[in-house]
Structure 1
Amino acid sequence: MRINKYIALCGVASRRKAEELILEGKVSIDNKIIKDLAIQVQDNNIVKVNNKVIRPVESYKYFILNKPVGYISTAKDQFGRKSVIDFFDSNDRIYPVGRLDYDSRGLLLMTNDGDLTYKLTHPKHNIYKKYEVKVDKPLNESETKEFMSGVDIGGYITAPCRLKRLSFQALYEVIIGEGKNRQIRKMFSYFGKKVIDLNRVAIGELELSTLKEGSYRALTEKEINYLKKIAEIK
């Protein structure tokens, strides 16, 4: 089994993050540091990350977290900010699937299934995500049409998306399939609008529903099967 996939199956990190750990010299096989991303792990090998032995996870866990504003979606932060991982037992080695900005809130998938995380975050999938976004002033009719057809957010033209105004207080429902860094904020900024609040309410068929902010729940078997199904779509 390829080393990055093995690390993912151990629940340590996604395949992409595993490759970073390897290149940083933090991974060893049989006490020998390796930096070859193509190396294969055999059944009798002892693999260590940061000098700690790792083994494949015996049982996977899947959660939906309603992330509050003020939490990062990574394990560590150079500024010492709070992490979404703080909501879970450290022994579970739970990690977020993708990211949600520090100043954004809402639905975030959390799991120790590194292989599924890799597949769900692969660019080929473009899983649709629904957001409720409040801005300081509304878009006019021409801006709305341009927003939906695609705008330049800094050398990248966004794909067509869905946009619906929910109230006269400049509250919008935005549905996008991409996940560029701070994409929605940049899209509104293109028209001189400032995002006041951004709340992700759904990822595909998974919804926050009545889950309170700062709380999480385990995914149902049906929801887990749904994620695995869409992860395998070519």
Structure 2
Amino acid sequence: MEDRLQKILARAGYGSRRACEELIVDRRVKVNGTIATLGMKADREKDEITVDNRPISQKESLKYIAFNKPLGVLSTVGANDPRPTVRDFVHVSGRLYPVGRLDVDSEGLILMTNDGELTNRLTHPKYKHEKEYRVQVAGSPTQAQLTAWQDGITLDDGQHTLPADVRIESQEKKSTWLRVILREGRNRQIRRMGASSNLPVQRIIRVRIANLRLNDLPTRKWRYLTSKEIKDLKNIT
């Protein structure tokens, strides 16, 4: 049965649908020897589909992994960058991609999988899935600063953020720990929110993606998701 090419590639473990669309736009995908274009359909059972001139594999077993990313590690895979990536720490064979991103200078929970359909549902902006962070800021935030984050704030590019859930978790001598819940994923969003409200961000630790929690997973370590966690993630999407 014919299906859109990006859906076939996503199901074969090549990333989210958007990532697979980029493969097509970059002219890396062929169907029966012809360079594919966006919107093209194919039948996986009848057509020869290749990526970088290599036939796509038969459907892989799906993998779901939680990783506690340390500072200085890239959340991207395949970047032309000498710094370590999350893939360097997760020694599992086959394709595996991070769901979304976490800045190199941020820490915490990364979900990695080869389930392109789940990746698409968790990262597409229209679904507004929650991501929760522990955020250390300099000094003591005023109520006006917290309210600005809660109401949504205009960033340096003129874009306005969605309202965020923000509360004070604890206070130290020269800094404050906040709990922040976002429902979008703009580039370096929390640090830019801090800059726009004169509230310098010192540290960011992601502790939850949707209903998947970091809990006590040590930094630099990974684990497979439980069957219940996988089921719960699929149910909310």
Secondary structure at 2:108's aligned position in 1? Answer: strand
How many angstroms apart in 2 are the aligned matches of 1:56 and 1:95?
A: 18
TM-score, normalised on structure 2?
Answer: 0.93
2:49 paired residue number: 47
1:7 paired residue number: 9
Of 19, 22, 28, the residue aligned with 1:20 is 22
Secondary structure at 1:91's aligned position in 2? Answer: coil
Does residue 212 of structure 2 align to residue 211 of structure 1?
A: no
Cα shift at 1:15: 1.0
Does residue 227 of structure 2 align to residue 230 of structure 1?
A: no
Of 105, 113, 117, the residue aligned with 2:119 is 117
1:82 paired residue number: 84
- Call closer, same or farther: CA 1:93–1:198 in 2, change over 3 Å: same
How many angstroms apart in 2 are the aligned matches of 1:30 and 1:185?
A: 47
Report percent identity of matched pairs: 40
**Moved runs in structure 1, 4+ residues, more than 3 A?**
none
Of 115, 128, 131, the residue aligned with 2:130 is 128
Cα shift at 1:114: 1.0
How many angstroms apart in 2 are the aligned matches of 1:90 and 1:212?
A: 18
Secondary structure at 2:235's aligned position in 1? Answer: helix
2:158 paired residue number: 155
How many angstroms apart in 1 are the aligned matches of 2:15 and 2:88?
A: 16
- Call closer, same or farther: CA 1:56–1:14 in 2, change over 3 Å: farther
How many angstroms apart in 2 are the aligned matches of 1:223 and 1:120?
A: 14
Alignment length, in residue pairs? 230
How many angstroms apart in 1 are the aligned matches of 2:15 and 2:162?
A: 29
Runs of 5+ in structure 2 lacking a partner?
none
Contact 1:73/1:83, CA 8 A, preserved across alignment: yes
- AA partner of residue 230 (structure 1): I
Structure 2 matches for 1:154-233, cutoff 5 A? 154-169=157-172, 170-231=176-237
Secondary structure at 2:93's aligned position in 1? Answer: helix
- AA partner of residue 106 (structure 1): G
TM-score, normalised on structure 1?
Answer: 0.94
Computed over aligned residues only, the root mean square deviation of the Cα atoms, in angstroms, reads 1.3
The C-alpha deviation readout for 1:115-144, integer Å capped at 9, x for no partner, is 111111111111111100111222112221
How many angstroms apart in 2 are the aligned matches of 1:91 and 1:30?
A: 28
Secondary structure at 1:92's aligned position in 2? Answer: coil
- AA partner of residue 183 (structure 1): Q
Runs of 5+ in structure 1 lacking a partner?
none
How many angstroms apart in 2 are the aligned matches of 1:49 and 1:70?
A: 31
